[in-house]
């Protein structure tokens, strides 16, 4: 009995101890503290992502508790606020070290007539200090009273604890020099492209533009004004391109280049791209359909480059072939174009079509060269309406050929006439 009584006393004591311990833990967990916040700016940057401006940096944040500098147990909070209290925006914050934090905030669309500041605050709800938040000070850092970056036509200055937007303009006279010019095709659409050097003359010095320049493709009569793609390829060198498919070739055109910096207030921040003084001036740089493209002075001119090429053809081979469950008709054909009384080899591969005499069927035929002016062709026949009559038509594939006789039906003469395949 004594042993049972002793065990009961020990058990009761353990239960009482656990209750007291848990109670003490709850009290400890609920305990508040006074942690005075302090911060020191380490870095400050102004950048752009997708044409949107942001500010970012690195900051040291500590909490002073009982006279000791402590690392915050909970990530601090930061806000971007206006001095007049009309703006209060959250700032992204993440730890980068023991008590060092990276921060950033997009400022695109901000009212630049206002002044702003960063506020840093303890993120710990148990911190009941009246000094658990503070404005970030720039004095005593490398950034105080300095211009840290640009926001459109404003300079961003840090002063004491304020972020100020100051008016910024300059006179930058634009100048350009054409380096390359090309005419190409992509997806059967013609484009022009090239490389150009662009500088801005500021206070007598040739400077690299801070902002990418703008290029336009314009007609001399003012009826066409379309944008040109531009991207930097070097210090002050830019690649450009513009599709011209569907352009009115009766007009004359030019490229215009403009400073892309809204802070540039120069009356000479725009100029036409000049071709004189370059290897491209008064030269044919390529073709667009039946026109030649000439650069002359500062104009892009389309000159008629058409020709009369009467088509002629002679069938050399023709047969039907089975492949799997499909029947093909294939052969070899000689195609020439008669230009100014001379038989010429086509510059461009001819086209062939498989057509019905009633006009209801018109299908493309595969064509590939096999010699100087000889071509292999084939066409699947499976599924054809056998009650119709058909023929092959061959046509010049050159867009410059404007002959009324640039196409013809293939004649089945000699051994092919009345031949059964």
Q: What is the mean pLDDT of the chain?
A: 90
Confidence of residue 29 (pLDDT cuts 50, 70, 90): low
Average pLDDT over residues 168-181: 95
pLDDT recorded at residue 85: 95
pLDDT recorded at residue 24: 43
Asked whether the whole model's pTM tops 0.85, one would answer no
Bridge partners, 182 (sequence order):
193
CA separation for the pair 362, 390 (Å, rounded): 10
Average pLDDT over residues 315-322: 91
pLDDT recorded at residue 86: 96
Confidence of residue 22 (pLDDT cuts 50, 70, 90): very low
Q: What is the pLDDT of residues 269-311, one digit of tens each?
A: 999 999 999 999 999 999 998 899 999 999 999 999 889 999 9
Q: What is the pLDDT of residues 398-410, one digit of tens each?
A: 988 999 999 999 9
Q: What is the pLDDT of residues 95-122, one digit of tens each?
A: 998 899 999 999 999 999 999 999 999 9
Return the percentage of the chain with pLDDT > 70, whole number: 92
Bridge partners, 217 (sequence order):
226, 255
Q: Which comes out higher in pLDDT, residue 14 or 344?
A: 344
Question: Where is average pLDDT lowest: 9-18, 78-87, 93-102?
Answer: 9-18
pLDDT recorded at residue 11: 47
Q: What is the pLDDT of residues 354-395, one digit of tens each?
A: 999 999 999 999 999 998 999 999 999 888 898 999 999 999
pLDDT at 14 over 90: no
């Amino acid at each position: 009995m004594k042993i049972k009584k002793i065990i009961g006393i020990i058990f009761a004591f353990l239960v009482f101890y656990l209750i007291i311990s848990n109670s003490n833990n709850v009290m400890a967990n609920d305990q508040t503290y006074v942690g005075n916040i302090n911060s020191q700016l380490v870095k400050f940057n102004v950048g752009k992502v997708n044409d949107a401006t942001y500010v970012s940096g690195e900051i040291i944040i500590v909490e002073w508790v009982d006279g000791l500098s402590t690392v915050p147990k909970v990530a601090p909070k930061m806000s971007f606020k206006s001095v007049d209290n009309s703006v209060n925006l959250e700032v992204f914050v993440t730890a980068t070290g023991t008590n060092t934090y990276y921060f950033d905030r997009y400022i695109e669309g901000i009212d630049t007539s206002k002044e702003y500041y960063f506020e840093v605050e303890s993120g710990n709800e148990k911190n009941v200090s009246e000094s658990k938040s503070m404005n970030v000070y720039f004095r005593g850092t490398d950034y105080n009273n300095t211009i840290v970056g640009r926001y459109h036509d404003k300079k961003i200055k840090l002063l004491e604890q304020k972020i100020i937007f100051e008016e910024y303009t300059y006179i930058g006279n634009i100048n350009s020099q054409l380096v390359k010019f090309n005419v190409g095709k992509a997806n059967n659409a013609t484009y022009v492209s090239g490389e150009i050097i662009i500088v801005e003359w500021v206070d007598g010095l040739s400077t690299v533009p801070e902002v990418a320049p703008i290029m336009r493709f314009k007609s001399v009569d003012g009826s066409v004004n379309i944008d040109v793609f531009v991207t930097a390829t070097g210090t002050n060198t830019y690649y450009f391109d513009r599709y011209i498919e569907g352009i009115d070739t009766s007009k004359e055109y030019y490229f215009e280049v403009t400073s892309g910096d809204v802070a540039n207030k120069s009356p000479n921040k725009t100029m036409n791209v000049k071709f004189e003084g370059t290897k491209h001036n008064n030269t044919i740089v390529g073709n667009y359909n039946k026109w030649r493209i000439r650069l002359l002075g500062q104009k892009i001119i389309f000159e008629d480059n058409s020709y009369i090429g009467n088509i002629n053809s002679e069938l050399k081979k023709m047969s039907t072939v089975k492949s799997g469950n499909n029947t093909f008709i294939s052969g070899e054909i000689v195609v020439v174009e008669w230009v100014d009384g001379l038989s010429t080899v086509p510059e461009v591969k001819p086209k062939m079509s498989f057509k019905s005499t009633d006009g209801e069927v018109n299908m493309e035929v595969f064509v590939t060269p096999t010699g100087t002016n000889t071509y292999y062709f084939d066409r699947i026949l499976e599924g054809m309406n056998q009650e119709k009559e058909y023929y092959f038509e061959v046509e010049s594939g050159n867009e410059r050929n404007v002959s009324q006789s640039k196409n013809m039906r293939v004649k089945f003469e000699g051994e092919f006439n009345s031949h059964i395949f």
